[in-house]
Amino acid sequence: MKDIEFFGNIKNCENFVNAVKEKDFLFSLVISYTSTSEIPGITIAGSNSELVKFTAPADAEFLHYGYCKSIKSIPMTPDGKPTPALITKSALESASIPLVVINAGSKVEPQLPFIQTGLKPGNNITQNFGLDEESFLHAIDYGRIIGRTLASLTDCLVIGESLPGGTTTALAVMRGLGIDAKVSSSIPKNPVELKNRIVTNALKKLDNDDPFNVVKAVGDPMIPTVAGMLSSASEISKVLLSGGTQMAAVLAFAKSIGYKSDNVAIGTTCYITNDTTANFLEIIKQIDDISILVVDPKLERSEFPGLKSFSEGFAKEGAGAGGSLIAAMLKAGLDSEKLLQLTENQYKRIFTSQ
């Protein structure tokens, strides 16, 4: 595949790609919330702090309907750069990949049929444990059930997430697990100082690196849910974890509950792997010898500044954008040029119809 680069376990990358080429894919979007996102400066996933709680359900609605119901516009940064769900939507549409939305603690319910877990939003990790014991175990249990069901309906389950502030909880979880992780963000001048301060502060309440304790103390509801999904789904089908540092945190935790690593790949954009404020490939290497598929969406070639900005470090990944591009390429043989064109059409449609 000319537009997908292999990293990590290269041999497994080849096997993975060969096993799912032209096969059926199912895209699942796990939406969630952590009050950690309310810390000023942490996220720009939402044009103002009042809107952040709508970002995840609105991403889900956009993927589903092509427009949002919970908010008028699509989720954007304060200066008008659109959600990466725009890329995900084009990719899924172009290759007729079905979508299911899983509500794992979103503060607002999406206005579409979704898989309900009953999970509550996560707490601000600087003030509290991210998750109480019951929610944590519930998330893993329900994740396992959902993973088993979805994997039995496809050849390759793609798992993406939408969770504002999620890179901070991901960073905290990885640090808590002893992984030397720098972390990517939807903000181009990654607020490294702020995040490090929050994480260091949040980790003070931990007195050991037991993975269950770490995720409860400084994690969010998405991490144990997706880890549960990964654990059961990888026994049945291929699983493409679609995302950057947040999926790295999922993988890091999932090691403690188990998964079938031959069936697992992480798929993301080159904007994540090229991000020098983070160290994505090294993080994954520290966790497991696993397949990493990296796609170049070539958004720097776009005529639209709003799309070009992704390649310049804004919202480099999210809503499963990278993995959905990879899935579209593998299922339908599409290339970056074609997918860029479709994303531009999507962009034009949205910004001329509003």
Residues of this chain that bind a second copy (CB under 8 A): 26, 64, 96, 98-100, 102-103, 109, 112-118, 142, 145-146, 149, 152-154
- Tell me whether residue 102 or residue 222 sits nearer to a second copy (CB atom): 102
Could you tell me the smallest distance in angstroms from the CB atom of residue 153 to a second copy?
4
- Tell me whether residue 141 or residue 288 sits nearer to a second copy (CB atom): 141
- Tell me whether residue 154 or residue 268 sits nearer to a second copy (CB atom): 154
Per-residue CA distances from 324 to 107, 163, 207, 216, 234 (Å): 25, 17, 39, 29, 18
- Tell me whether residue 104 or residue 340 sits nearer to a second copy (CB atom): 104
Burial per residue of 59-88, b for 16 or more beta-carbon CB atoms within 10 angstroms, e otherwise:
bbbbbbeebbbbbebbbbbeeebbbbbbbb
Could you tell me the smallest distance in angstroms from the CB atom of residue 350 to a second copy?
21
Could you tell me which residues come within 8 angstroms of residue 258 by beta carbon, excluding any fewer than 6 positions away? 231
- Tell me whether residue 98 or residue 333 sits nearer to a second copy (CB atom): 98
Could you tell me the smallest distance in angstroms from the CB atom of residue 146 to a second copy?
5
Could you tell me the smallest distance in angstroms from the CB atom of residue 24 to a second copy?
8
Nearest alpha-carbon partner for 76 in 108, 47, 110: 47
Could you tell me the smallest distance in angstroms from the CB atom of residue 102 to a second copy?
8
Give the amino acid at 340.
L
Residues forming a β-bridge with 293: 6, 267
- Tell me whether residue 63 or residue 278 sits nearer to a second copy (CB atom): 63
- Tell me whether residue 3 or residue 59 sits nearer to a second copy (CB atom): 59
**CA quadruple 172, 173, 178, 179: dihedral sign:** negative
Could you tell me the smallest distance in angstroms from the CB atom of residue 137 to a second copy?
13
Could you tell me the smallest distance in angstroms from the CB atom of residue 116 to a second copy?
4
Cα(254)–Cα(214) distance, integer angstroms: 12
Q: How open is the CA angle 230-33-151, to the nearest 5 degrees?
A: 20
* Cβ(240)–Cβ(157) below 8 Å: yes
Residues forming a β-bridge with 326: none
Cα(85)–Cα(74) distance, integer angstroms: 9
- Tell me whether residue 116 or residue 200 sits nearer to a second copy (CB atom): 116
Could you tell me the smallest distance in angstroms from the CB atom of residue 143 to a second copy?
9
Nearest alpha-carbon partner for 62 in 110, 19, 132, 123: 110
Give the amino acid at 119.
L
Cα(195)–Cα(174) distance, integer angstroms: 13
Give the amino acid at 121.
P
Angle, nearest 10°, between helix axes 280-287 and 245-254? 10
- Tell me whether residue 127 or residue 152 sits nearer to a second copy (CB atom): 152
Q: Is 48 exposed, middle or buried (0-12, 13-18, 19+ CB in 10 A)?
A: exposed
Could you tell me the smallest distance in angstroms from the CB atom of residue 149 to a second copy?
6
